[in-house]
Structure 1
Amino acid sequence: MSVSESKPEEKTATRKKSAPLATFFHVHLVSDSTGETLNAMLKATASQFAAAKPLEHIYALIRSRSQMEKTLAEIEASPGLVLYTILNPELRRLLEIRCSELQTPAISVLDPLLHAFTDFLGLEQSLRPGAQHQLDDAYFKRIAALDYTLSHDDGQMSWDLEPADVVLVGVSRTSKTPTCMYLANRGVKAANVPLVPTAEPPAELFALRKPMVVGLVASPERLAQIRQSRLGGMNAENAAEDYSDLDEIRKEVLRAKRLFAKHRWPAIDVTRKSVEETAAAILTKLSARQNK
């Protein structure tokens, strides 16, 4: 057989392109604080480059020359991108000069925002490292919110829902607990109440005045998938029949939607949302409510 007469499957094989291999690269996160800001910005940016995998090197609380010199030695040993939040002018200059000598890109990620704030407010920067992590009122508010949320998870202490900022209501596996924890970390007191087919919601839920009650829903198909996975390997066959049965879940979701509509509670479909996206939607609604 000649080359031109090769089999169709052979031609197909030669036409197929191999999948692109992941590109690994070093990223050095240099901060005079905890490094949380840099980490968040790296994740947000790297998520736009699916084939690129950053190898993170984190240097937190860099506040002395000796610490910076050790950091620069590690950058030289593993060249790559350098992202930094360093406010001390001397340490910043040391980092920028050495990175320039190494021909390593170094980006001060907060500079555009800080310059914009300075121009808009007409004020000078305080140059306080980790100013957002001070033990101030906002910090203690977050701690109080976390404490409240932990003690009011999954319908606990339903008689004490009035102090909450937000109360999430939904059927099982609609991400109520992780969403509450995310909100609490933002200083929002969040409680959640599960909707159970065999029981009525607590009466206290319908008498609330201060908290914003938000319903969470998801597609029955997605809930069935999650619940079946959840029950995998558990010895709860009888209970599992209704818990993961698609028809029963459809009834649960319909009852939940009717409840939300009856009480005019805003509802969020979490089927294709991450916890962060759900929390962002709730924070937007909460802000609009508070600014009325």
Structure 2
Amino acid sequence: MLTIYAVSDSIGETAEQVAKATARQFNEKIIVKRVTYIKNFESAEEFLSKIECNKDIMIINTIVLVDVREFLIERCVEKGIAIINILGPAINTASRILNKIPEYKPGAVRNMDDTYDKKIEAMEFAMQYDDSKDHKGVKLADVVLIGLSRTSKTPLCMYLANKGIKALNIPLMPEIPLPEEIFEIDSKKIIGLTIDPIRLMEIRKHRMDKFSRIISPDLQYANGERVLDELEYADRIMKRLRCKVIDVTNRAIEDTALLIMESIGYGGVKDY
């Protein structure tokens, strides 16, 4: 059984993500262990002294401190431990192109993203205002998603939140009036989600089958006529709001999110 150590001179998130991504490529049990704050020779030596070199192990590290990184690599070579550094080559290449000496700051992978707190705030926002739990968030949102049930509103909000975007979703149902707040914001902040009726019926039927024990068989949730009525209602609402409409039929969450980000002018590129 292989053990991958994700070693870093900071909190080790990047190294661990790469290690887990590596492990997922194999249909084998692979253990990933995160090792943090290896900032000097002593901590590197202490780490190596605690691992069993006679087992199948490898090290993925994101140490940027050159002397510590080289020391760890040298000691691993001596011990016959496979090790790879995923930041060194990238930093060296950028340094060569820019003709600049890097600062070699531990934790820069995390610190360079100064929207970290914003992402957390956006995640909390998405959960707080999911499915119109509170209409006060409409005017605070970066984008408001509207659409019928099962048009991926909530997953999209969570995906956008991970980009630091405060996204709120409002389900469209003929029996429930829209909050007045939605008519008081810029229509450019509103995105309508539509879907092919056949595909929507399939999704809803699957949903009903999954929860057949607790859902009444008389529910018209996946009924063809009901679905068409809902789609017509949604279409009228979106035209009234004059918002951008995206067809999510057979479209991946990532693709839809990209279209939303482009629509609201979020480029996703940051100068550091």
Does residue 190 of structure 2 align to residue 233 of structure 1? Answer: no
Which consecutive unaligned segments of at least 5 residues does structure 1 have? 1-23
CA positional deviation for 1:267? 0.9
Distance in 2 (CA, whole Å) between partners of 1:108 and 1:290 is: 27
SS in 2 for 1:154: helix
Q: Are residue 32 (structure 1) and residue 9 (structure 2) matched?
A: yes
Q: Distance in 1 between matches of 2:239 and 2:266?
A: 20
Residue aligning to 1:98:
75
Whole-angstrom distance in 2 between the partners of 1:114 and 1:135: 14
- In 1, the alpha carbon distance for the partners of 2:142 and 2:130 equals 14
Structure 2: 5+ residue runs without aligned partners?
none
Whether the 8 Å CA contact 1:33–1:60 is kept in 2: the answer is: yes
The answer to whether the aligner puts 1:224 opposite 2:200 as a matched pair is no
Cα distance 1:277–1:230, how it changes in 2: closer, same or farther (>3 A)?
farther
In the aligned structure 1, how far is the partner of 2:209 from the partner of 2:45?
Answer: 50
Q: Which residue of 1 aligns with 2:226?
A: 248
**Structure 1 residue matching 2:18: 3-state secondary structure:** helix
- In structure 2, the residue matched to 1:265 is 244
Change (3 A) 1:265 1:206: farther
8 A Cα contact 2:64 2:87, kept in partner? no
| Residue number in structure 1 paired with 2:261 | 283
CA-based RMSD of the aligned residues comes to 3.5
Code of the aligned partner of 1:63: K
Which of structures 1 and 2 has the bigger CA Rg? Answer: 1
TM-score, with structure 2 as normaliser? 0.77
Change (3 A) 1:98 1:286: farther
**Percent same amino acid at aligned positions?**
30
The alignment covers a number of residue pairs equal to 264
Q: Distance in 1 between matches of 2:243 and 2:136?
A: 21
C-alpha contact (below 8 Å) 2:261/2:267 kept by paired residues: no
For residues 85 and 149 of structure 1, do their structure 2 counterparts lie closer, same or farther at Cα, with a shift above 3 Å needed?
same
Taking structure 1 as the reference length, the TM-score comes to 0.72
1:141-170 Cα offsets, whole Å, 9 max, x none, are: 334333433332211333542332121222
- Equivalence for 2:30: 54
